[in-house]
Amino acid sequence: MALHWVIVAAVALAVLAALALAALLAVLLRHAFRAHPPAKLAWRWLTGLPWHGRDPVPDVTWWSPGSPGAAVRGRVRRFYYRRRAARMLIRCAETVALLAAAASAAVSVTLQPAATARVAACAAIAAAASVRPRDRQHRLENKEVFRPLHNRLHAAVGVPATWRPRQWLEMAEDRSWFKVYVPDAYDPNQKNLEAVTRAVAPVVFVNNEPRVSAHMGGRRRYLEYQAALPPPPPLVLLDPDPDRKALGIRHLIEAAAWHELVIGYGINEKPVIKSLGGAVPHWGLSMPTGDGKSVTAELLEAQMLFHGAVGFILDYKVFSHPWALFEMPNVVYCGLTAQIHLALMWLKDEAERRRMRGLDYIQMDGTMAGSLGPVLFVVCEELNATIVELKTYWKSIDGVGESPAIAALRELLAIGRQLGIHFLLIAQKLTVAALGGKDSAARENCAGLLIGGSATPSTWDMLARDVERPAKQTVPGRHFVVTGGEAELCQVAFLTPRGAAGPQARQLALAGTVTRVPEEWQEQRYWPEGISKDLSGRVKPPVRGFGVSAGDICQTAGEPGMRALPAAPVTDIRNAPVGIDEAIKLRIIPPGVSKSAARGHRARDPEFPQAVPDAEGPRNEKLYWPRDLAAYYRMKGYEAA
């Protein structure tokens, strides 16, 4: 009996508290309530209207819902397309449930506060777990597929621009079909269907021309696009793996000519094989970080080595290709900036020798009576950073004007095809600056492009403006092969680095025709005019390198084995120009000077050292001689570190 009175008292207190709160809000909002009295607000809430009392969907009545083609302003929730009677039932049920929950909570807190807290925590956890967050793929599809197509098609189809894209567009997870829901007034004639198809096909299906069918009956009318052929396989390996539903490419590589590159499989499991001859002498890889640049590069490099080429890997990161980092008879690995510089100069000299040799072998019909030399396949890694380092290195050894190594790279891109020198240019964004040029002439020689599946619109517009940009891909290893003004979707093959007998790329490179680095190449020394042969103390950056030494362009040929190559000399980085951030890290600028203070000195003090001419660091950072910075801060009274 006592418990009964306690419950009654608790409910009475809860009601009184609610009334008091309502009265307080009424006093505080009395000016607002003059335009919208509480009675009207309550009526609008319970009958399913917005707070201002105007129905956002004009053709909704008590017993009929709103039509999809209604003229609405702004974005309207689906709730307001329901009939008024259904909205009223939902709102009344929500109100009753809310009041019941509040009363129950008030009683529970009064009688058992600890138990109530535990139940509330469990309920919060359950509610959070039941809410499925929009994953990365959902957001990516909205950005790359639904919103662009909504903006391009809503006027042609007759759908209000205020609709959500997924309200009338639908797509399968594997992009095998796509649906466009249309209003009743849409006329599916040939002209209208072609307009929709031109927008949908390149974005969703890439080079897989879809079949379209119009479904004009039933409650919802729609156009359905189905891929004519199945999409690329989800995984491609060197050897097939039925358990993982992976296709293999080893048989394709063995059957291909020396100039044919097996990249993977495309639509309908069609092999994607491209040539290095003819109009595509060089290939470019433009992919964001983590998209698989090095994985794709090792696939192409290993194939060229398999067919008898000699490989050059110019890798500023030093260990992008660990499978080739240890001594191989057909690979030249250059990691330090000095090594990359000298290798490019040597390649230019080798091109000149091949040109002179070609004069002896050329026939009237354009064929050669002899060989110009083994095919050279040069992989240039991380060109966005390498070009900057080559410029800085040239200035650090007192070079004047443009770096000759960069000039040699551009020249080789122009003349390398007939001389048997082919390049694979790799960059996160293959800009004109990534090739050290002021125009796109050098990049035009990369007639074949591998563009990452997650490439940005600006990258696509820069490299393949004449091709409609497809939507970004969410399957790892699925990229776009662009040649001859056409984009082809391809699942690039993956060579596992942990095979039973070692990395598969290394196994493949040594399984075919192994062309050893010629002995006469090992004796070549190339010292550009004006550069001292004593490079000790000039190598930058101070890391241990593999492959060639500062004096030798090619590593010593020998039997393949897991033996580390000789290290290049380790020297002091202070002999090269540095930026302000690097100078602070190296304590060239005293520890008491912060980055912002140093930048302030540079901006306001006319006595601050002059920047090194024609030398730039990352993000166009100005570079200074360390001795000038140290002398400036000594003059200002700062103690050296």
Residues 6+ apart with CB under 8 A from 116: 105, 108, 109
Q: Per the structure block, which two tokens stand in for 270?
A: 């069609």
Output DSSP code: residue 485: T
pLDDT at residue 183, as a whole number: 86
What percent of the chain lies above the pLDDT cut of 70? 80
The architecture in CATH of the region 278-522 reads: 3-Layer(aba) Sandwich (3.40)
3-state per-residue secondary structure call for 138-168: HHHHHHHHHHHHHHHHHHHHCCCCCCCHHHH
pLDDT at residue 572, as a whole number: 39
pLDDT at residue 570, as a whole number: 32
Stretch 158-162: mean pLDDT, rounded? Answer: 81
pLDDT at residue 568, as a whole number: 31
pLDDT at residue 164, as a whole number: 82
Q: Which residues pair with 486 in a beta bridge?
A: 483
Stretch 356-381: mean pLDDT, rounded? Answer: 87
CA-only gyration radius of the chain, Å: 34
Q: Per the structure block, which two tokens stand in for 1?
A: 């009996």
Peptide bond into 577 cis (omega under 30): no
* Cα 636 from Cα 641, distance rounded (Å): 14
Which residue has better confidence, 585 or 402?
Answer: 402
What is the tens place of the pLDDT at every residue in 496-522? Answer: 888 777 789 999 999 988 988 876 665
* Cα 321 from Cα 299, distance rounded (Å): 11
Which residue has better confidence, 22 or 294?
Answer: 294
Closest by alpha carbon to 10, among 98, 78, 109, 84?
109
Q: Taking the domains of the chain in order of start, what are their residue ranges?
A: 2-130, 136-227, 278-522, 577-635
Stretch 362-379: mean pLDDT, rounded? Answer: 87
Per-residue pLDDT at 634 exceeds 70: yes
What is the tens place of the pLDDT at every residue in 104-114? Answer: 777 766 666 66
The CA-based angle 437-442-443, given to 5 degrees, is 105
Q: What is the mean pLDDT of the chain?
A: 78
Q: Crossing angle, helix 337-361 and helix 404-415, to 10 degrees?
A: 40
What is the tens place of the pLDDT at every residue in 117-158? Answer: 666 666 666 655 554 555 677 887 888 888 889 888 888 888
Place of tokens 């591998």: 450
* Cα 491 from Cα 477, distance rounded (Å): 6
Asked if 225 and 178 count as a contact pair (C-beta separation under 8 A), the reply is yes
581 three-state secondary structure = helix
Confidence of residue 607 (pLDDT cuts 50, 70, 90): confident
Place of tokens 């009338």: 168
**Identity of residue 12:** A
pLDDT at residue 113, as a whole number: 66
Per-residue pLDDT at 364 exceeds 80: yes
Per-residue pLDDT at 31 exceeds 80: no
Closest by alpha carbon to 431, among 404, 402, 405, 455?
455
Per-residue pLDDT at 587 exceeds 60: yes
What is the tens place of the pLDDT at every residue in 429-447? Answer: 888 788 777 667 777 777 7
CB-based burial label for 133 (10 Å; 0-12, 13-18, 19+): exposed
Q: Per the structure block, which two tokens stand in for 489?
A: 């979707």
pLDDT at residue 30, as a whole number: 61
Per-residue pLDDT at 531 exceeds 60: no
Q: Per the structure block, which two tokens stand in for 310?
A: 């000699």
Residue 223 to residues 142, 165, 178, 181, 396, Cα–Cα distance (Å): 20, 15, 8, 6, 64
Which residue has better confidence, 59 or 315?
Answer: 315
Q: Which residues pair with 296 in a beta bridge?
A: none
What is the tens place of the pLDDT at every residue in 554-566? Answer: 333 333 322 233 3
* Cα 266 from Cα 285, distance rounded (Å): 18
**Identity of residue 446:** C
What is the tens place of the pLDDT at every residue in 281-339? Answer: 888 888 887 788 888 999 999 999 999 999 999 998 888 888 988 888 889 898 888 88
Asked if 585 and 595 count as a contact pair (C-beta separation under 8 A), the reply is no
Which residue has better confidence, 13 or 496?
Answer: 496
**Identity of residue 145:** V
Stretch 184-195: mean pLDDT, rounded? Answer: 86
Name the strand (E) or helix (H) holding 23. Answer: helix 2-28
